[in-house]
C-alpha cells in the first residue's frame, strides 16, 4: 500500500469541508450548551442576590429611613437592599459568564460597559416591579422576596439574550485554551475548541479527517 500526498487543492478542500461540518455541529449544539452553562452561573448569582436581599430586608425591617422617589415612591431600605443585591449579583454573574460560558477575550471595560447598558432600562423596571408587586401583596417582607424572585427570572432570560447576541456576539470562545486532539492537525485547534464547547466529542472531530496523505492501492 503506497501513500500519496494530497495536493494543495485537496488539502484546502478537506479543510473547508471540515470547517463546514464544525460550523454545522457548533450551530446545532453551541447555543444549547451555552444556555446550560449560563443557567448554572446565573443560578449562583441569583443565590447571591436573593440571600443578600433577604438579609438586608430583615436587617432593615425596624429601620425608618423614610422614602425615596425613584420611578415610584418606596422605602429607602427597599431601594438600598435592591440596589446592593443587584450590584453584587451583576459583578459575580458577569465574571463567571465571561470566563466560563462565553470564554471571551473581549476588552473587559468595553464588555462591562455593554453589561451596564443593559441595566440602564432594566434597573428602573426592576425597582418599580419589586415595589409594585410587594405593595400589591401587602407590603410585608415575604412579599418583597416573592417580587425579587420573579424579577430575577425575567432578568435571567433577557440578560442571556443580551450577552449572547450583543456583548459576546463576535468574541465568544476567543479566550478558550487551544487544545488539540491526538493525530489532529495543528491548524484544527480553533475548530476543535468550538466543537468541545458545543458538547461534541473531540473524537468526532478527528473522525472528520484532515490527513495529509491518502492511501493508494
Cell of 130: 419589586
Q: 40 or 71, which is more confident? A: 40
Which of the listed ranges 18-22, 73-77, 175-179 does the model predict with the highest average pLDDT?
73-77
Q: 207 or 123, which is more confident? A: 123
Q: Classify 208 as helix, strand or coil.
A: helix
Radius of gyration, alpha carbons of the chain: 24
Strand partners, 74: 68
Write out pLDDT tens, residues 98-129: 988 888 888 899 999 999 999 999 999 988 89
pLDDT on residue 100: 87
- Mean pLDDT for 130-157 is 88
Q: What is the spatial distance between Cα 117 and Cα 158, in angstroms, rounded to a whole number?
A: 13
- DSSP one-letter code for 188: G
- Mean pLDDT for 167-171 is 89
Q: Nearest CA to 18 among 171, 160, 194, 164?
A: 194
Q: What is the spatial distance between Cα 156 and Cα 169, in angstroms, rounded to a whole number?
A: 18
Q: What is the spatial distance between Cα 136 and Cα 131, in angstroms, rounded to a whole number?
A: 8
Torsion angles phi and psi, residue 70, rounded to 5:
-125, 105
pLDDT on residue 186: 44
Q: 40 or 217, which is more confident? A: 40
Mean pLDDT of the chain: 79
Cell of 17: 469541508
Cell of 129: 416591579
pLDDT at position 199 over 80: no
pLDDT on residue 127: 85
pLDDT on residue 4: 67
pLDDT on residue 25: 64
Q: What is the spatial distance between Cα 175 and Cα 61, in angstroms, rounded to a whole number?
A: 45
Q: What is the spatial distance between Cα 171 and Cα 25, in angstroms, rounded to a whole number?
A: 19
Q: 185 or 45, which is more confident? A: 45
H-run or E-run covering 215: strand 213-216
Give counts: helices (H), strands (E), the chain.
Answer: 6, 4
- Mean pLDDT for 199-204 is 50
pLDDT at position 205 over 60: no
- Mean pLDDT for 74-82 is 88
Q: Are 93 and 42 in contact (CB under 8 A)?
A: yes
Q: Are 22 and 196 in contact (CB under 8 A)?
A: no
Strand 2-5 relative to strand 213-216: parallel, antiparallel, unpaired? Answer: antiparallel
Write out pLDDT tens, residues 10-38: 778 888 878 777 666 665 566 788 888 99
Q: What is the spatial distance between Cα 124 and Cα 70, in angstroms, rounded to a whole number?
A: 8
pLDDT on residue 28: 58
Amino acid at each position: 500500500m503506497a501513500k500519496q500526498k494530497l495536493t494543495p487543492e485537496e488539502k484546502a478542500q478537506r479543510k473547508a469541508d471540515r470547517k463546514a461540518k464544525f460550523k454545522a455541529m457548533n450551530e446545532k449544539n453551541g447555543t444549547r450548551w451555552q444556555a446550560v452553562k449560563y443557567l448554572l452561573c446565573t443560578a449562583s448569582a441569583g443565590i447571591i442576590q436573593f440571600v443578600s436581599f433577604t438579609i438586608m430586608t430583615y436587617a432593615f425591617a425596624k429601620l425608618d429611613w423614610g422614602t425615596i422617589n425613584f420611578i415610584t415612591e418606596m422605602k429607602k431600605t427597599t431601594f438600598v437592599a435592591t440596589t446592593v443585591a443587584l450590584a453584587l449579583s451583576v459583578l459575580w454573574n458577569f465574571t463567571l459568564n465571561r470566563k466560563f460560558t462565553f470564554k471571551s477575550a473581549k476588552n473587559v471595560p468595553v464588555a462591562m460597559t455593554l453589561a451596564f447598558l443593559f441595566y440602564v432600562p432594566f434597573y428602573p423596571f426592576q425597582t418599580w416591579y419589586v415595589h409594585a408587586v410587594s405593595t400589591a401583596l401587602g407590603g410585608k417582607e415575604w412579599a418583597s422576596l416573592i417580587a425579587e424572585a420573579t424579577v430575577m427570572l425575567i432578568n435571567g432570560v433577557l440578560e442571556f439574550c443580551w450577552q449572547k447576541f450583543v456583548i459576546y456576539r463576535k468574541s465568544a470562545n476567543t479566550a478558550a485554551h487551544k487544545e488539540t486532539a491526538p493525530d489532529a492537525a495543528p491548524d484544527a485547534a480553533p475548530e476543535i475548541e468550538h466543537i468541545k464547547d458545543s458538547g461534541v466529542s473531540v473524537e468526532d472531530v478527528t473522525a472528520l479527517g484532515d490527513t495529509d496523505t491518502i492511501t493508494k492501492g
